[in-house]
Amino acid sequence: MCSRVVITGLGPVCSIGIGIEPFWQALLDGRSALSPIEAFDASGYRSKLAGEVREVKIRDFVPKSYRKATKVMARDTELAVIAAKLAAQDAGLITRGSEDADEGFAPDLTRIGCQIGAGLIAADTEELSRAVVSAQDDAGKFSMEKWGTESNALGTGESGMNNLPPLWLLKYLPNMLACHVTIIHGLEGPSNTIMGAEASAILSIGESARVIERGSADLCFTGGAESRLNPLGLLRWDYSGRLADTGEATDGSTITKPYDPDSKGGIIGEAGGMLIIENEHHAKARDATIYAEITGFGAAQTPPPVFPGILDQPDPDPIDRGLEAAIESALIDANLSQADIDLIMPMGIGVPNLDAMELGALRSVFADRLDQIPRITLADRVGNTMAGHGGLMAAAGAMCLASQRLPANSSQSQPDTINHVLICSGSLGGQSGALVLSKPQ
Amino acid sequence: MTPKKQRVVITGMGWVTPLGTDIDNVWNKLLSAQGAIGPVTRFDASTCATNFAAEVKNFTLTDHLGDRAHVHSAAGLGTQFALAATKTAWTMAGLDTTPPNLKRTGIYLGAGEGVLDYPPYMAANIAGWDSQARKLDSVAWIAKAYEGMNPIAEIEQEPQLTLTHIAAELGTMGPTLNCMTACAASTQAIGEAFEIIRRGDADIMVAGGCHSMIHPLGMTGFMRLTAMSTRRDDPQTASRPFDLSRDGFVMGEGAGIIILESLESAKARKANILAEVAGFGSTADAYRITDIHPDGKGGAGAISAALAQAGIDPNATDDTGRPLVHYISAHGTGTQENDKTESNGIRSVFGKLATQVPFSSIKSMMGHLIQAAGAVELMTCIQAIQTGILPPTANLNNLDPACGLDHIPNKPRDENHRGGVDVCLSNSFGFGGQNDTLCLRKYKD
């Protein structure tokens, strides 16, 4: 990348920690938190465990004047808002969203962008069911006739759809993550919402860096957030074939094992993973703490087959070619070779055939060196947190560079110096992204 | 590395709209102010406050993809629209006969989520309700869901899978991203794709969007927001942007796909160049999730940024006194709020020239294609540049003075007598204060 883009704020929110200090400590301690889902009764599901974010209340993370608006936030939005607040705080920013901060840097809001990776948000099942049962026909099936407000079958006002709150739709638009964050903090620069399943946050962070590079913003709130811990969301991910049947197990770390052919499958997680990134000059001028520099970004598409809806699939390629291409582009962008990479952070979601394809891509890039490079995965600690995952990986990678330490349970012992970290992800639809983070100069 | 700042041109386009799928045919309908709005046929909307929409009619993927259609038989409606529009665009660009470097060819869409699989989903929602406890019984819900809900139908609702289908069809391996910024999505997708080529990360991008929200909960969401017209007695003229009597937007559906290409690549292939992308602007209102900032400053910011990148001064005129921007395709939804604030935004950017810049909304005819709207509207700008004719705003009989610009009421305008159409803007704004504007220019070597 030409004009340098640096990471100055970290806001990870996931099952092992809320905020960078507890998150990093949990990684150093080698903790994982994959336990029975509490958000709703998931005992009827095949996969009953998750990396769940507990004991945080959205009210505590928004200005008092904004508390009312939290009623129209889906869980995904809450996680993004909390993570954004923590990242801004960590970066020492003062905005209208930080009423509790007494000192910090107040940036030019027209020069701040916001790019947040998001997932498909499921409507609240309880809220919808309550409304839908009011519109059944005699056979107990959903009746559009009764759902409409002009229905004669029910008095106007009692009708099915009027049981949904007026702002119902606005809770489920994926861009609401970025919209609430921009409104809370007053960010008026370019805003985007990128959806690429597990690759969403990496793609968002990369695009965000490009927004700064091209001069359209000085600083961006970026990353991703997602929660599928609701009836429809969990079902859809179960249907993707990426979740383990967890049976009677209560600790997911015994189930999901990255790159292990005997792994029983993936475990879902929920997370917000937000960063503050900025133009290096801007960061230095305000004397910000720089964790890492974003030196490379690559995006690519895996040729199908990767999902069941496309019918004429050839035999699966044992190498995820899109991921391979994304990594190669990111290395070229960073003006580095594979030999320069000191640490790899891939997904390792614990689904053996997918892990094998991912490993195939890494081996294709790193050849024999792959087994000597430390590799860190988070999915076995916090679950596959989908659109939030890349933000968590970037926070962990940035901490490795800033502290020159590795989390516990890394695949290799620590190198003498950690200069360059590769973060990469494929996804359900084959959209792939890779970032290179480097030790700040 | 010093990034190469590439010029970016458009070499192909395709659309699936409520007015049809053939480029010239749809264009001629737009010029004759024909509407496509009628009763909802996709589901029983008879008791809905809004029981009409602009549906895509008589569409089958086989008509566009031939035998290849079966490969995508599980694809949702929006994905099928996008596949058909992509086929037209790809062929028009000549990429079927001169295949590009697929690793340098990417996709950037604003593809919307798929349509819910209603019967089994609603059955689960009914089975899951515990009427005694008056709360959800998620064990009963999932039991019914596992019984009836289909894995492929659920996965296909993930919006980014539209791109996977297109990649499967074309074999592309370059950067592939989907953005969901509500009604601004496909304008944003094209703008971001333009930036990807400009900075040298790809040579060719398939860009645009697709969406269908003409389904029970899609329509429900907007009815609850009271954002849609309820003119049940006269649906054909229900979409009335800038008119005093406007009462909301009319739901449409479809897809718009363009082929963006670096000038270098287009020249090397001797491709026919339709127009050049000159600028892109994107801002956030940072105001409210429900309302646009009343002075239209977010929209104005996006327009100003797009013009600045294109190097066009909105307050300047040419030798004949004509403003340098020859046409603006409005977001123009037909809601009270949008049309007024968007017009205010135009006034704040163009100052005293504002009334001299033609500014119309084709949503008056084909409704609001939601995430596909921006791409389809940009294509009408390409047509305007190609033909020198501007599409009208239909159903505009009593101009709202709060809008009060040159909205090209009811009849198209032929600009060929004064040199045709060189520069166009296309605006798209989304819920939550997402504002995006693209600037197109007639291609000159």
Supply angle C-alpha B221, B222, B225, rounded to 5.
95
Phi, psi of B337 (to 5 degrees): -70, -50
Q: Do A404 and A428 belong to one domain?
A: yes
* Residue B286 sits in the same domain as residue B182: no
Q: Is the pLDDT of residue B2 over 50?
A: no
Closest by Cα among A385, A38, A43 to A246: A43
Q: Are residues B329 and B432 in the same domain?
A: yes
pLDDT on residue A416: 86
Question: What gap in Å lies between CA B381 and CA B388, rounded to an integer?
Answer: 10
CATH number, residue A221: 3.40.47.10
The nearest alpha carbon in chain B to A320 belongs to: B173
The answer to whether the bond into A305 is cis (omega within 30° of 0) is: yes
Domain boundary residue among B107, B129, B149?
A: B149
Find chain B residues with C-beta within 8 A of A70's C-beta: none
CA distance B328 to B339: 13
Are A35 and A184 within one domain? yes
* A76 and A116 belong to one structural domain: yes
Q: How far is CA B442 from the centre of its chain?
A: 21
Do residue B173 and residue B244 come from a single domain? yes
Nearest residue, CB atoms, B221 vs list A120, A168, A303: A168
pLDDT tops 60 at residue B40: yes
Arithmetic mean of pLDDT, B130-134:
95
Nearest of A140, A63, A64, A41 to residue B124 by alpha carbon: A140
Cβ within 8 Å of B, A 161-180 = 161-162, 164-170, 172-176, 178-180
B28 falls within a domain: yes
Residues of A in contact with B289 (CB under 8 A): 69, 72, 167, 170, 176, 179-180, 183
pLDDT, tens digit (0-9, with 9 covering 90-100), for A209-221: 999 999 999 999 9
Quickly list H helices, B57-96: 62-65, 77-92
pLDDT per position as a tens digit, A56-92: 999 999 999 999 999 999 999 999 999 999 999 999 9
Say whether both A342 and A259 belong to one domain.
yes
| Among A180, A181, A171, A271, residue whose Cα is nearest residue A226 | A271
In the block, tokens 């540049």 appear at B385
Tracing tokens 């640490």 back to the chain, one arrives at A343
Of A133, A168, A203, the position where a domain reaches its end is A168
Rg, Å, chain B Cα set? 21
Among the residues of A294-427, which ranges form H helices?
321-333, 352-366, 379-382, 389-403
Q: Which residues sit opposite A394 in a β-bridge?
A: none
pTM: 0.97
Section B86-95 average pLDDT: 98
Where residue A153 falls among pLDDT bands split at 50, 70, 90?
Answer: low
Domains identified in chain A, total number: 2
Comparing alpha-carbon positions, the chain B residue that sits nearest to A109 is B286
- pLDDT at residue number B257: 98
Cβ contact, residue pair B125, A174, below 8 Å: no
Q: Which residue has 């991921």 as its token pair?
A: A323
Residue at a domain's end among A168, A195, A228: A168
* One domain for residues A162 and A176: no
The residues pairing with B317 across neighbouring beta strands, listed in sequence order, are: B323
Same domain? For B397 and B358 the reply is: yes
Strands B38-39 and B52-53, by their bridges, are antiparallel
Q: What is the pLDDT of residue A318?
A: 87
Q: Are residues A272 and A299 in the same domain?
A: yes
Helix (H, G, I), strand (E, B) or coil at A425: strand
pLDDT in tens, A282-313: 999 999 999 999 999 999 999 876 555 666 55
Mean pLDDT of chain A: 94
For residue A273, give its domain range.
5-122+172-438
| Residues B348, B205 within the same domain | no
| DSSP secondary structure letters along B400-426 | -TTT-S---BSS-EE-GGGT---EEEE
The answer to whether residue B188 neighbours chain A at the CB level (below 8 Å) is yes
Minimal-distance CA residue of chain B relative to A145: B47
Distance CA A332, CA A436 (A): 10
Helix B336-350 with B297-310: angle, nearest 10 deg = 40
Same domain for B103 and B25? yes
Q: What distance in Å separates the CA atoms of residue A303 and residue A431, rounded to the nearest whole number? A: 9
Does residue B273 lie in a domain region? no
Residues 180-199 of A with CB under 8 A from B: 180, 182-183, 185-197
Which of the four pLDDT bands, split at 50, 70 and 90, describes residue A1? very low
Residues A145 and A203 placed together within one structural domain of the fold: no
Residue A140 reports pLDDT greater than 50: yes
> Of A112, A144, A168, which residue is a domain's last?
A168
Q: Could you say which of A43, A183, A431 has the minimum Cβ distance to residue B287? A: A183
Residue A152: predicted pLDDT? 60
Find where tokens 């070229």 sit.
Answer: A332
Q: Model confidence over A362-393: pLDDT tens digits?
A: 999 999 999 999 999 999 999 999 999 999 99
Answer whether residue B433 shows pLDDT above 90.
no
Cβ pair A195:B159 closer than 8 A: yes
Q: Are residues A367 and A271 in the same domain?
A: yes
Q: What percent of chain A has pLDDT over 70?
A: 95
Regarding whether A236 and A130 lie in a shared domain, the answer is no
CATH value at residue B433:
3.40.47.10
| B407 found inside a domain | yes
Residue B342 covered by a domain: yes
Domain range spanning residue B136? 118-149
Of B97, B129, B149, which marks where a domain is finished? B149
Indicate whether A99 and A31 sit together in one domain: yes
3-state SS assignment for residue A210: helix
CA-based nearest residue in chain B for residue A208: B192
Radius of gyration of chain A (CA): 22
Read off the tokens for A331. 């290395």
Q: Predicted ipTM?
A: 0.96
| Count of domains for chain B | 3
Q: Are residue B55 and residue B186 in the same domain, yes or no?
A: yes
* Segment 30-69 of chain B within 8 Å of chain A by CB: 43-49, 51
Q: Is residue B341 part of a domain?
A: yes
CB contact under 8 A, A301 and B223: no
User: In this structure, how many other beta carbons lie within 10 angstroms of the beta carbon of residue A403?
Assistant: 12
Q: Quickly list DSSP for B126-152.
A: HHTEETTTTEE-HHHHHHHHHHH--HH
Q: Which residues pair with B444 in a beta bridge?
A: none
DSSP H/E element including A170? none
Q: Are residues B180 and B99 part of one domain? A: yes
A151 compared with B134, residue with greater pLDDT: B134
Residue B126 sits in the same domain as residue B169:
no
B70 contact A CB<8A: yes
Q: Which of A164, A170, A231 sits opposite B138 (nearest CB)?
A: A231
The DSSP element (H or E) to which B49 belongs, if any, is: none
Cα distance between residue B164 and residue A429, in whole Å: 6
Reduced to 3 states, what is the DSSP secondary structure of residue A219? Answer: strand
Cβ contacts of A166 on chain B, cutoff 8 Å: 224-226
Task: Judge whether B3 lies within some domain.
Answer: no
Residue A78 CB partners (closer than 8 Å, separation 6+): A58, A70, A272
- Supply φ then ψ for residue A50, to 5 degrees: -160, 160
For chain B, percent of residues with pLDDT exceeding 90: 93
Per-residue pLDDT band for B195 (boundaries 50, 70, 90) equals: very high
Amino acid A219 reads: L
Nearest to A176 by CA among B46, B181, B86, B44: B181
Question: Which residues of B are the active-site residues?
Answer: 183, 331, 368
A83: which 2 tokens? 């993570």
Whether residue A35 is found in the same domain as residue A132:
no
Q: Closest Cα partner for B160 from B115, B109, B208?
A: B109
Give B158's contacts in chain A (Cβ within 8 Å).
Answer: 120, 195, 197, 236, 428-429
Burial of B182 (0-12, 13-18, 19+ CB in 10 A): buried
B410 exposed, middle or buried (CB, 10 Å; 0-12, 13-18, 19+)?
middle
B278-326 residue pLDDT tens: 999 999 998 888 888 888 889 999 999 999 999 999 999 999 999 999 9
Q: Are residues B211 and B296 located together in one domain of the fold?
A: no
pLDDT band at A317 (very low <50, low <70, confident <90, very high): confident
**C-alpha distances out from residue B29 to A157, B19, B394, Å:** 40, 7, 11
> Domain check: are A139 and A263 in the same one?
no
User: Do B195 and B311 sit in the same domain of this protein?
Assistant: no
Sequence-separated (6 or more) residues with CB below 8 Å from residue B348: B295, B296, B297, B300
B181 phi/psi in degrees, rounded to 5: -115, 50
B216 shares its domain with B145: no
Q: What is the pLDDT of residue B1?
A: 38
